[in-house]
Amino acid sequence: MNPQDLANDAAGQAGGAGKKIAGKMARKAAGKALKFLKKIAKEFIKKLILVVGKSLLAILGPWVLGALAVVLVVAIILSAIPFADWFLGGNSRSESQKKADIQYEEKFKKAADKTVAEINNIEANAAWKANLMNTLKPSWGIPAALVRYHIVVKDKKVKLSDYDPDDLIQLFKPTFSYSTITDDMETIKTVTYCTTTDEEGNTHTTGPTTNITSTARPAHKVLSAATFNYGNMNIKPLKRYYPGGTETKTDQWDETGTSSSGDCTTTSYRQYEHTTVDDRFQPVLNIDGPKFQSVLIGQGIKQEDMKLVYEFIKTADPTWNPYLYGGNGSGNGLGGYAGQAKVSEAVMRWEPLVRKYAIIYGIEDQVNLILAVIQQESGGNHLDVMQSSESANLPPNTIIDPEVSIMYGVKHFASVFRSAGGDIKITLQAYNFGGGFIDYAQKRGGYSKEVAIEFSEMMAARYGWARYGDVNYVEHVLRYYTDWSNLTVGSDGQIFDVQEALNIMSKYMGLPYVWGGRTPSSGGFDCSGLLEFAFNKLGINLYGTAAIQYNKTVPVSESEAQPGDLVFWVTRGDFPSHVGMYLGNDSFINANNSKGVSISSVSNWNKLYPFLGYRRIVK
C-alpha cells in the first residue's frame, strides 16, 4: 500500500505516493539529529549509572544491590504487561485465575439457563422449545463485554467476579406470561342400535340413534408472552382438533368404548379441542434498542462506545445478534452488505479485529471487502497485515503489531470509501494509489482501467519513477470477493419478476439469521421469513414455514428448473425445514444459520441434508 492521506501535510493530488520524497528527506534529517541525541544521552546515562552504582555499592554491599536489581527488573516486566492481557488470552493470567474465569463463565451460563428453564415444562415441539430458550436467555457475552470494555477503554482493573451473575442477570432475564384457555371443547357422540326378537323368532333392529353432547374441557394455561425491561415476544396460541391434531375440524372420531343395556348396544366416540403454543412458527423478539442500551449505560458504558461494546458481546457470544438490539453497525445502513470474501484461513483469523475497527470507523458493511484487501496485501501472513506503515508515514513494514496495522488500514479505507461516495472500484484503486486518484477518476466519469493507467503514468512521470502503484489493483482484490450487487437472473417460466425478487433479498445480504425473523426490523430473517418478506413485496402470498411454502408450490424436475424456483431440504425432523430461491448455476439465495442472508451452493447443501427438489410458484 502506497503512502496515504493520514499525513496530509505533503500529499496533494499525488495522494500517498508523493509523500515518499518528502518523507524520505524528513526521515533522513530526523535520523541524523536522532543519532546525535542518542550519542549524548548514552554518555550521560553511562556516567549517571556508574556514579549511582558506586554509591549504592558502598552503602548496601553487592548482595543487597543485586537483590534490588532483580526486584526492579521483575517490577518493570510486570508493569509492562497490560491488565487486559489475561482477558485477551495472554500468559500473565495464572492458572488459578484462568480456572476462576472458567468457573465464572459456567456459573453465569447456569444462571442464564435457569431464567428460561420453565419453557421445558410447556407443551411444544422440543426443537422449538430449545430455539426459544436460546433466543430469550441472557447472553454470556454481556459480562464478558463489560469487563473487556472497562479494561480496554477505561483502563480499569476489573475482573469477571466483580459482577455477581445472579444480580447481573436480573437486568436481562425474561418474565413469562400465560393465557388461560377456557374455550376448548370436548364432544361425545353415542350411536345406539337396539335388536329385538318377536314371538315368532324374527329379529328387528332399530337405530342408529345418535346423540351428540359438547362440554367445556378443564381450563389450562398456555405460554403467551416473554417480557424484558427493553422488549417483548408475543407467542400465538394454536387450537388443534383431535383425533389427528389437525388445524381444522374434521369428521374423524376416536372410538372410546361399547356398552350394552338390555337389547341395545351403544358405541361411544370422542372429539376434542386442545390449545397449545403455535410451534409451527418461531415468534419474533421485539427489542427496543435505546432501552437495552440504557441498561448498559447503567453499567458504566458510554453511548459513544456502544458499537464497540456490541462487538465485544458478539465476540464472546457469536450467537448474539447485535441488529436485534438496535446495533446497525453500519454507516451506510443495512442495505450495504454487498458481497462475500473468498479468502484464506490466514486472513480470516483477522476478521474480528477488522470488524472491531470497521465498527469504530462506521464501515462494518465493508468488512468482507477489507478482508479481500488483506488477502491481496499480505495474505494475512505478515505482521503489517494491511501494509499500513506508509499510511502512517513510516518506512515499509515498520509496523510490527497486526492490530496497529489493521487500525491504520481500516481508518484509511474508511476515508477513501467515503470520499469516493461508496464506489468500490474507485475506493480500491485509491487505497493503492492514494486519495488523489478519487478526484482524478470522478472528473473522468468514474473508474476504468484506462483511467487508472493514465493516472499511474502521470504520477510516475512526475516523480521520475519506472512505475506508480498497481494499475491492476482492483482486479487483484476483487478476485477474492464475490460482489452480489451485480447478480442478474432471468424470469423464464415464472409468474413473477425473478430479478426484482432477487433485488429485494440482495438488499439484506449479510444480515444475520434470526429464528422467526419475518422482516428486517426483526434484526434478520429465517429461511422462510426471507422468502415470505420478498414475495409479499411482489404481491405473492408465501406466508408460513418452509413446510407450508413447500405445500404451496408444485414440483419441477431438475432439468426443468429455472431461476426463481424454490429449493427445499430436510435439516431436522422428517419435513421440509429449509428453503431458498434458486438462481441457476448451482446457486440459491437463502437465510441460513452460518452466514445469514447469502448465496449458497445447491450441491454443497445436498452433501449435508436430504434434498427435496425444485418447486415452482403457480397461480
- Which active-site residues does the annotation give? 527, 578, 590
Strand segments, DSSP code E, in 143-248 are 175-181, 185-197, 203-216, 220-228, 231-234, 237-242
**Nearest alpha carbon to residue 477 among 441, 424, 437, 414:** 424
- The cell numbers describing 339, all together, are 458481497
Beta strands 578-584; 220-228: pairing state = unpaired
Instruction: Give the distance, in angstroms, between the CA of residue 537 and the centroid of all CA atoms in the same chain.
Output: 25
Peptide bond into 512 cis (omega under 30): no
First to last CA, the chain: 56
Instruction: Give the distance, in angstroms, between the CA of residue 241 and the centroid of all CA atoms in the same chain.
Output: 39
H/E stretch holding 580: strand 578-584
DSSP code, position 52: H
Distances (CA, A) of 611 to 569, 571, 574, 575, 608: 5, 9, 12, 11, 9
CA torsion, ordered 42, 48, 49, 54, to nearest 10 deg? 150
Instruction: Provide the edge-to-edge strand list for the sheet that holds 587-592.
Output: 553-556, 611-617, 566-569, 578-584, 587-592, 596-601
**Residue 116: count of CB within 10 angstroms of its CB:** 20
Q: Is residue 286 a contact partner of residue 249, using CB atoms and an 8 Å limit? A: no
Distance of alpha carbon 188 from alpha carbon 267, whole angstroms: 10
Alpha helices in 393-448 (DSSP H): 402-419, 424-433, 436-442
Phi, psi of 288 (to 5 degrees): -90, 100
Phi, psi of 328 (to 5 degrees): -60, -40
Instruction: Give the distance, in angstroms, between the CA of residue 427 and the centroid of all CA atoms in the same chain.
Output: 25
Distances (CA, A) of 18 to 14, 248, 427, 456, 469: 5, 76, 18, 12, 11
